[in-house]
A and B are shown apart, each in its own frame.
Chain A
Amino acid sequence: MSAMSDTALQAAPASKARGYWATVGRRIRRDKVSMACAIILVLIFASALLAPWLHLADPYQGSMIRRLRHIGTPGYPLGTDELGRDMLARLIYGGRLSLVIGILPVIFAFVIGTSLGLVAGYVGGKLNTAIMRTVDVFYAFPSVLLAIAISGALGAGITNSIVSLTIVFVPQITRVAESVTTGVRNMDFVEAARASGAGPFTIMRVHMLGNVLGPIFVYATGLISVSMILAAGLSFLGLGTKPPEPEWGLMLNTLRTAIYVNPWVAALPGAMIFAVSICFNLLSDGMRSAMDIRN
């Protein structure tokens, strides 16, 4: 931390000419923890994306005689699950669904929440009250409870789980977007744009969006960690993915019965969720301090 702020101080005069985002990018690249997390995430994403070309075992093909092999069994580097399916293949293929259902809600909520917050913050008045009071209602529910209530009512399924998590995150992002926007809207450059005849839509899109997007983006990145845990949690409860689909939360659930036979194989899917979640958290922290140029 201290080493980073020292280099930032030294770099300050030169980096001014480089522009804000270039400086932020440079500062992130110098942050070892953030870069390590970024590399781990790239590896996990790439292996999930390229899974069919990695010469893995069939993640759906089980075998009654090969059930619950231990980690390190020849031919099964990470063992097999309760139906004899190769764990390595299932963990890598599992990344596909797990990452999609964990990240999509945040992307949807980012788009919806930013729009709502921008409009509420810029237009203000009655519209602001209407949007923000509605948002407040969702704050009256603990987020896990809200996700489970909506998922439980809608029934199990991937789409429903994405919908329920989006509904959970929209209010949070809207609040952040609204408060950032209200901070920016009274600045001189917005007044100048208005004075030179720009309409509200142009002002929001051209002049404000670029200024509010950074903090909202960092906040949303931090939410991915929560979203991964909750999405896998819904599947863990049986509200998300359905068997035999490989998905980390669901795998954790079906392997629960195996903890007395082969405990460490049963714990593997959770380790994947943890890895992705902590990397996103650390990356979000790194981005936040990199964007905080004042320090």
Chain B
Amino acid sequence: MLAYTSRRIVYVIPIVLSVALVCFLLVHITPGDPLVAVLPADASQELAAQLRSAYGFDRPLPVQFGLWLWRAIHGDLGNSIATGRPVLSEVMRAVGNTVMLAIAAAMIGFTLGLLFGLIAGYFRDTWVDKVATSIAIAGVSLPHYWLGMVLVIIFSVQLNWLPAVGAGPGGSGAWAWDWEHLRYLVLPAITTSVIPMGIVTRTVRALTGDILSQDFVEALRAKGLRETGVFRHVIKNAAPTALAVMGLQLGYMLGGSILIETVFSWPGSGLLLNSAIFQRDLPLLQGTILVLALFFVLLNLLVDIAQAAIDPRIKRS
């Protein structure tokens, strides 16, 4: 297990470096001067040249990448052009809110997905299966930002039960674990949970069906094992793949939160990314994407290791 874990970690290093390279290059595919956001419109040539060398934009690209990477390793992702604060602290503060949203959504989506998937797979081709698969396919086909809007229309505009935007009363940044604050989490979390719910349902349904059609299940039933016992075998066999899919989905929720956070003005990394894009705050854009992508890589690594831990066959392949 230790050998497998360390081998997996070694494999991740080139991926991390390429991710960093892609994030670095993002700034250089932007049209126009990367300084455009900091330079006043009437800036002189000398000032532009001065700033260019201050930011290091006058050096060759590989050198710039090396320097940028070296600083990034030491936790320095530069300063936000809009606020002047360090990018890393801005990102980390926002990521906390996104993690909270993703975990709440995962609890809803994964529970329902596992439940629907197991039931649908077990009672395949019955009406229960048809209902569950319909919910699942609707879940993966929904434009989630639209669902968010529809939920706001129903629960905030029409019924006035839940707040439409923000992450706490009075727009204050502080979070507390009471109903006053949790109310703000309900709609964004439900909206975020729909896609993972659909995907987990579909995966677990297919897995359950496949497992139940295997010979060993026939053998278990022939030797007189009760259905609850058969069910336990199904869960054990479905666990590694289901876990991998759920890990991936958690990563998608963390990284792809921009649309939902925009709809609900949820102060997470997605909303930060949104403002970085529209204020042309390139260091912030670059840093946020780097941090989110690294989270995703890390999550994938953890999922791989957890998968190998519960299914020893994976280690050998």
- A residues adjacent to B (C-beta < 8 A): 1-2, 133, 136-138, 140-145, 148-150, 152-155, 225, 228-229, 232-233, 236-239, 252, 256, 259-260, 263-264, 266-267, 269-271, 273-274, 277-278, 280-282, 285
A121 CB to nearest chain B CB (Å): 19
Contact B277 A148 (CB under 8 A): yes
Q: Which residue of B lies closest to A1 (CB)?
A: B125
> Please, how many angstroms separate the alpha-carbon atoms of A48 and B15 in the complex?
43
Q: Which 3 A-B pairs have the closest CB atoms?
A: A270-B146, A144-B256, A142-B255
Q: Which residues of B contact A264 (CB under 8 A)?
A: 153
Contact A141 B30 (CB under 8 A): no
> Please, how many angstroms separate the alpha-carbon atoms of A236 and B144 in the complex?
12
Contact A236 B153 (CB under 8 A): no
Most buried by A among B19, B252, B277: B277
Select the stretch in B134-142, B179-187, B222-230 that faces chain A: B134-142
Q: Which of B253-282 contact A (CB under 8 A)?
A: 254-256, 258-259, 262-263, 273-274, 276-278, 282
> Please, how many angstroms separate the alpha-carbon atoms of A20 and B97 in the complex?
52
B31 CB to nearest chain A CB (Å): 6
Contact status of A153 and B27, CB under 8 A, knowing A137-B19, A266-B153: yes
Contact A225 B145 (CB under 8 A): no
Contact with A along B213-225 (1 / 0, CB 8 A): 0000000000000
Q: Which residue of B lies closest to A270 (CB)?
A: B146
Q: Which residue of A lies closest to B280 (CB)?
A: A155
Select the stretch in B66-74, B109-117, B288-296 that faces chain A: B288-296
Contact A141 B296 (CB under 8 A): yes
Q: Which residues of B contact A236 (CB under 8 A)?
A: 145, 259, 262
Contact B141 A263 (CB under 8 A): no
Most buried by B among A149, A150, A264, A285: A149
Looking at the complex, which one of B26, B140, B145, B251 makes contact with A233 (CB distance below 8 Å)? B145
Q: Report the contact-size class of chain B (Cβ under 8 Å from the partner).
A: 35 or more
Q: Which residues of B contact A273 (CB under 8 A)?
A: 143, 146
Q: Which residue of B lies closest to A236 (CB)?
A: B145
CB of B44 closer than 8 Å to a CB of A: no
> Please, how many angstroms separate the alpha-carbon atoms of A280 and B140 in the complex?
11
- B residues adjacent to A (C-beta < 8 A): 14-15, 18-19, 22-23, 26-27, 29-31, 125, 137-138, 140-147, 149-150, 152-153, 157-158, 251-252, 254-256, 258-259, 262-263, 273-274, 276-278, 282, 285, 289, 292-293, 296-297, 300
Contact A266 B145 (CB under 8 A): no
B269 CB to nearest chain A CB (Å): 9
Contact B277 A152 (CB under 8 A): yes
Contact A278 B22 (CB under 8 A): no
Contact B140 A281 (CB under 8 A): yes
Q: Which residue of A lies closest to B258 (CB)?
A: A148
Contact B143 A274 (CB under 8 A): yes
16 A-B contact pairs sorted by A residue (CB < 8 Å) = A140-B293, A141-B19, A141-B255, A141-B296, A144-B255, A144-B256, A153-B29, A154-B31, A229-B142, A236-B145, A252-B149, A259-B153, A267-B149, A270-B143, A274-B143, A277-B142
Q: Which residue of B lies closest to A147 (CB)?
A: B256
Contact B285 A153 (CB under 8 A): yes
Contact status of A2 and B125, CB under 8 A, knowing A137-B15, A152-B285: yes
> Please, how many angstroms separate the alpha-carbon atoms of A282 and B130 in the complex?
13
Contact A267 B153 (CB under 8 A): yes
Contact B252 A266 (CB under 8 A): no
Contact A142 B141 (CB under 8 A): no
Contact status of A278 and B137, CB under 8 A, knowing A140-B15, A140-B297: yes
> Please, how many angstroms separate the alpha-carbon atoms of A61 and B199 in the complex?
42
Contact B18 A137 (CB under 8 A): yes
A83 CB to nearest chain B CB (Å): 19
Given A141-B296, A152-B273, A225-B141: 5 more A-B contacts, CB < 8 Å: A142-B292, A142-B293, A149-B23, A237-B262, A266-B153
Q: Which residue of A lies closest to B299 (CB)?
A: A142
> Please, how many angstroms separate the alpha-carbon atoms of A236 and B14 in the complex?
35
Q: Which residues of A contact B137 (CB under 8 A)?
A: 278, 281-282, 285
Contact B293 A141 (CB under 8 A): yes
Most buried by B among A142, A154, A225, A269: A142
Contact B125 A145 (CB under 8 A): no
A276 CB to nearest chain B CB (Å): 9
Contact B30 A155 (CB under 8 A): yes
Contact B256 A145 (CB under 8 A): yes
Q: Which residue of A lies closest to B195 (CB)?
A: A229
Q: Which residue of A lies closest to B293 (CB)?
A: A141
B203 CB to nearest chain A CB (Å): 14
Contact A259 B143 (CB under 8 A): no
Q: Which residue of B lies closest to A149 (CB)?
A: B289
Q: Which residues of B contact A148 (CB under 8 A)?
A: 258, 273, 277
> Please, how many angstroms separate the alpha-carbon atoms of A277 and B144 in the complex?
12
Q: Which residues of A contact B31 (CB under 8 A)?
A: 154-155
Contact A278 B146 (CB under 8 A): no
Q: Which residues of A contact B27 (CB under 8 A)?
A: 153
B262 CB to nearest chain A CB (Å): 6
